[in-house]
């Protein structure tokens, strides 16, 4: 048997079958990956000074007080994305790469450092309730995860790994502010899940006007532990998918 040669047509068919299998496996492995992170600073809103009022003795003053308190149950990330499309082997060596002058795709953030991208789907009420419990959020509170990302969701078409999401398919979405103002035309953030873990996802905007009139590729908010006794900050893992 070792001395027999395959018919050329059969050999070619086997070769093509092998190539199709290899290329198919490579296509299926395309998924969000961890980026290199460079950050400049983290800041929080300053406390406002006390407001003074002077009234005469013997009077009653009716007042409306409007205050702003920093919310410790949430934290935000904004920034820009650079990168390339590449043909790499398992060791990270590139056969060729295309540096992107403009970027498109998604940024993903999760408490889980090994998201199962083959199982990714829209987050449902069970996933959100589980995340609220893990983060000590009161589901009935105004700033709970379920009330912040309140259905029905609004978002454009986007893809994650091999999963394509139709417009408005996912229920739990929010739009972060532009120029400190509520809006619903950019910086879409959508809650996804791989089953056990919630994934905060946002569609890259490519240098759009952001919350503070700066220009950003992405803005998103993620939940922080709502328990006053936790005493620790929750670590999050970032992923990027460029298309």
What is the reported pLDDT for 145? 98
Tens of pLDDT, residues 43-61: 888 888 999 999 999 999 9
Q: Is the pLDDT at 183 greater than 50, yes or no?
A: yes
What is the reported pLDDT for 43? 85
Residue 180 CB coordination number (10 Å): 9
What is the reported pLDDT for 230? 63
Mean pLDDT, to the nearest integer, of 187-203?
Answer: 98
Residue 94 CB coordination number (10 Å): 10
- Under the banding of pLDDT at 50, 70 and 90, the label for residue 195 is very high
Q: Is the pLDDT at 187 greater than 50, yes or no?
A: yes
DSSP string, 104-166: -EEEEEES-SS--GGG-EE--HHHHHHHHHHTT--TTSTTSHHHHTPSSP----EEETTEEE-
Distances (CA, A) of 191 to 6, 95, 99, 145, 159: 53, 35, 29, 10, 13
Q: Is the pLDDT at 107 greater than 50, yes or no?
A: yes
What is the reported pLDDT for 1? 46
Provide the Cα torsion 185, 200, 166, 152; round to 10°: -70
What is the reported pLDDT for 44? 84
Predicted model pTM: 0.84
The token pair at 91 is: 């060791």
Q: Is the pLDDT at 13 greater than 60, yes or no?
A: no
Q: Out of 24-28, 36-40, 125-129, pick the least confident.
A: 24-28
What percent of the chain clears pLDDT 90, i.e. is strictly above it? 77
Tens of pLDDT, residues 138-163: 999 999 999 999 899 999 999 999 99
What is the reported pLDDT for 45? 83
- Determine whether 46 is exposed, middle or buried from the number of CB atoms within 10 Å of its CB (0-12, 13-18, 19+): exposed
- Determine whether 216 is exposed, middle or buried from the number of CB atoms within 10 Å of its CB (0-12, 13-18, 19+): buried
Average pLDDT score over the chain: 88
What is the reported pLDDT for 18? 36
Is-contact 203 183, C-beta < 8 A? Answer: no
User: 31 vs 12, which has greater pLDDT?
Assistant: 31
Mean pLDDT, to the nearest integer, of 184-192?
Answer: 97
Q: Is the pLDDT at 29 greater than 90, yes or no?
A: no
- Under the banding of pLDDT at 50, 70 and 90, the label for residue 228 is low
């Amino acid at each position: 048997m070792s001395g027999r040669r395959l018919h050329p047509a059969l050999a070619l068919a086997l070769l093509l079958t092998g190539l199709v299998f290899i290329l198919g496996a490579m296509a299926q492995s395309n998924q969000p990956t961890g980026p290199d992170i460079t950050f400049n600073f983290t800041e929080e809103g300053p406390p406002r000074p006390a407001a003074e009022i002077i009234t005469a003795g013997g009077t009653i003053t009716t007042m409306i007080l409007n205050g702003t308190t920093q919310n410790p149950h949430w934290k935000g990330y904004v920034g820009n994305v650079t990168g390339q499309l590449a043909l790499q082997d398992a060791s990270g060596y590139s056969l060729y790469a295309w540096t992107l002058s403009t970027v498109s795709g998604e940024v993903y953030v999760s408490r889980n450092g090994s998201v199962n991208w083959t199982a990714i789907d829209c987050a449902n009420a069970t996933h959100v309730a589980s995340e609220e419990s893990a983060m000590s959020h009161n589901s009935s509170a105004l700033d709970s995860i379920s009330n912040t990302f309140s259905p029905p969701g609004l978002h454009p078409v986007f893809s994650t790994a091999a999963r394509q999401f139709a417009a408005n398919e996912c229920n739990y979405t929010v739009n972060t502010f532009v120029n400190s103002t509520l809006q619903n035309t950019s910086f879409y953030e959508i809650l996804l899940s791989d089953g056990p873990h919630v994934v905060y996802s946002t569609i890259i905007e490519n240098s759009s006007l952001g919350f503070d009139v700066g220009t950003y590729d992405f803005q998103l908010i993620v939940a922080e532990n709502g328990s006053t006794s936790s005493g620790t900050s929750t670590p999050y893992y970032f992923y990027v998918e460029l298309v």
